[in-house]
Amino acid sequence: MAYLDTIDSPADVKKLNVEQLTELAGEIRESLIRTLADTGGHLGPNLGVVEVSLAFHKVFDSPKDRIVMDVAHQAYVHKMLTGRRDRMHTIRQTDGLCGFMVRSESPHDHFGAGHAGTALSAALGMAAARDKAGTGEHVVALVGDAALTCGITYEAMNNIKHTTKRLIVILNDNEWSIDRNVGGMAKHLNRIVTNPTYNRLHKDFDSFLKKVPFGDRLLKLEHRAEEAAKGILYPSVIFEELGLRYLGPIDGHDLKMLITNLEFCKQSDEPILLHIRTTKGKGAHFALENPEKFHGCSPYDPVTGKSKPSKPAPPAWQDVFGELMLKFCQTHAKLVGITGAMPSGTGLSKLRDKMPDRYFDVGIAEEHAVIFAAGMATMGFRPVVAIYSTFLQRAYDCIIHDVALQNLPVIFCMDRAGLSAADGPTHHGLFDIAYARAVPGTVLMQPKDEDEFQDMFATALTLNAPVFIRYPRGAAMGVPMKDHPQILPLGKAEVLQHGHDVAIFSYGTMLPMAQNAAKLLAEQHGLSVALINARFAKPLDVECVERYARQCKALLSFEDHVLTGGIGDAIIGHLADARIHTPVARVAWPDKFIEWASTNDLLRERHGVTAQAGVEKVMAILREQESDPRFQVVAVK
């Protein structure tokens, strides 16, 4: 009998003994490997937390007891154990399960997250609320060692001791986030794990716990002895200093040991951290051999791990950026690249491998990355901070206070600007035009293709100001790059075709959609359509906007961004200031958080971000104008 077929709720997990749970762990791994081979998803992280997820639901009572997962891309096993097993084939698909925890999806998902470093703060808030309410539930935070490169985690740890006496933290130490972890904390954890004296002593304590029934006197004796051992070996163990009793490290794949230690943690009368060692990708040889690829992967062969064939496509935007960094670093001695634990995702792994002295990985620490770049800029260097649009939001204060206020020439290359369909609302980069436009003295650009990306990069290097270059996830446009980049005139759009009825302003890679709209307006409605590649959201080409607003009956903007604060808003705002009343139709994302889906196209159709939607909006304006004398425009030759 397959045990997995019997699991419909955490109550079913509690019915199984350790031997049965061990078999169930194997079945879960097989199911994950088979299912994600079709859908793609976060394979490696979930294979690594099978046993700890089982142990949590064996020991604790969800949804009364609460578990908060850092990032929560490792929640697939938790979903399988909490009534969603039969929907796992829909993970990250249109109208399917989310690839992260979502509170609206299940009462067992206690806190939603898609960014690192939030779990400890959220769990501490829950514990404080529980203490105030006088209820007795347990709160458990499952954090990866990568979260310990994130400053928010330390802010939470700093507050634990004087906030609550009951909090359980499970530190899942696998040495990886997406890439291998960097920094002092990673080295500190490694020293704890590899110290033979400490490990031998701690195994004795584990054996003691397994053999002797729990009792207050014995627990106090064990605690004092363990404290003495750690005081000799590691007088500066950071967790103890910050008020978390440290327990571990233990094998995170040993179910019996996990269950015993978690039962012990339940009885603790002080905040406690259980340090477990796991293997990312356990159970799939190809995920073990390539943990970076299988952190979050596309569909693959479940036997070999080879990616399933896909249509030939141009290089991804991130790889275009990586090549540009290499190219410009060869001619600019002070150019450096900075990433926040995303060397492959941003394309900076190319710089790391070829020119390591020009590369910095600061860990999951976006605020530090920005201020670190600001510091380098004061010394004459030209830092390029490569961070996903959605993650750069976390460093907004630093952008304003530490870079822009001092007018430091930091270049921000914002990958994943626009949709990131399968990842959903935590990863869509739909707000960056708005948050960058609001900062004084900045320049904001988006290229229509790879060649223009090169021109924008070269242009950014000539500007003594903070510069943002945004570009989406996925394949670029397939346009070859010329040998020598062109310096673009600051704030000047590119007019691709003239027209006198409607002017379309396209921003970045929305150009094919804008071209389609122009074609439909011309062929189906007989209109003369101008097409403009805006290039700059800031400074906006106001001369171009005014010229076409004065000679056309309507303007239409396309952007991969929310309506509020985008380039369409910028056009409307300037026309209002200039007392020009030409109406503006906008195609952009609505004022809501956009869900996840199998492809970007499905989301565009669902939310009206299409060429046809733009045509319909323009035609509605023109029909209104036929009977409204305020919009009778005299064409300007």
The number of C-alpha atoms within 13 Å of 368 and in the hemisphere containing its C-beta is: 14
* Confidence class for position 403, pLDDT limits 50, 70, 90: very high
Of 544, 543, 520, the C-alpha closest to 532 is 544
Is 80 exceeded by the pLDDT of residue 323? yes
Of 25, 120, 142, the C-alpha closest to 81 is 25
* Confidence class for position 296, pLDDT limits 50, 70, 90: confident
* Confidence class for position 631, pLDDT limits 50, 70, 90: low
Q: Which two tokens stand for residue 313?
A: 């496509």
Contacting residues for 316 by C-beta, under 8 A, at least 6 apart: 347, 473, 474, 475, 476
Looking at residue 205, its amino acid is: F
The larger pLDDT score, comparing residue 296 to residue 316, is at 316
The predicted pLDDT at position 635 comes to 45
- Rounded to whole angstroms, the Cα distance separating 461 from 586 reads 32
User: What are the two backbone dihedrals, phi and then psi, of residue 588, each rounded to the nearest 5 degrees?
Assistant: -160, -175
Is 70 exceeded by the pLDDT of residue 398? yes
The average confidence (pLDDT) of the chain is 91
Domains delineated in the chain:
3-195+234-285 (3.40.50.970), 317-470 (3.40.50.970), 494-631 (3.40.50.920)
The predicted pLDDT at position 185 comes to 55
DSSP secondary structure, 325-373, as one string: HHHHHTT-TTEEEEESS-HHHHTTHHHHHH-GGGEEE--S-HHHHHHHH
Burial tier of 212 (Cβ tally within 10 Å: 0-12, 13-18, 19+): exposed
CB 205 within 8 A of CB 309: no
The angle formed by the CA atoms of residues 302, 303 and 305, to the nearest 5 degrees, is 65
Contacting residues for 318 by C-beta, under 8 A, at least 6 apart: 345, 346, 347, 415, 473
Is 60 exceeded by the pLDDT of residue 328? yes
Among the ranges given (52-61, 228-237, 318-327, 613-622), the one the predictor scored with the smallest mean pLDDT = 228-237
Known catalytic residues are 280, 366, 394
In the three-class reduction of DSSP (H, G, I as helix; E, B as strand; rest coil), residue 180 is classed as: strand
What would the pLDDT profile of 223-257 be if each residue is shown by its tens digit? 555 554 444 444 336 888 888 999 989 999 999 99
What would the pLDDT profile of 349-368 be if each residue is shown by its tens digit? 999 999 999 999 999 999 99
Instruction: Match 């009343």 to its residue by tokens.
Output: 581
* Confidence class for position 616, pLDDT limits 50, 70, 90: very high
What residue spans of 401-465 are helical by DSSP H?
432-437, 450-460
* Confidence class for position 191, pLDDT limits 50, 70, 90: low
C-alpha dihedral sign at 453, 454, 460, 466:
positive
Is 50 exceeded by the pLDDT of residue 85? yes
Cα separation of the two ends of the chain: 81
> Residues, the chain, total?
637
Residue 394 backbone class (left: φ over 0; alpha: ψ -120 to 50; beta: rest): alpha
Is 80 exceeded by the pLDDT of residue 189? no
Q: For the CA atoms of 429, 434, 439, 445, what is the dihedral angle to 10 degrees?
A: 70
The predicted pLDDT at position 251 comes to 96
Q: Which two tokens stand for residue 517?
A: 């709209």
Please state, for a pLDDT cut of 70, what percent of the chain lies above it.
Answer: 89
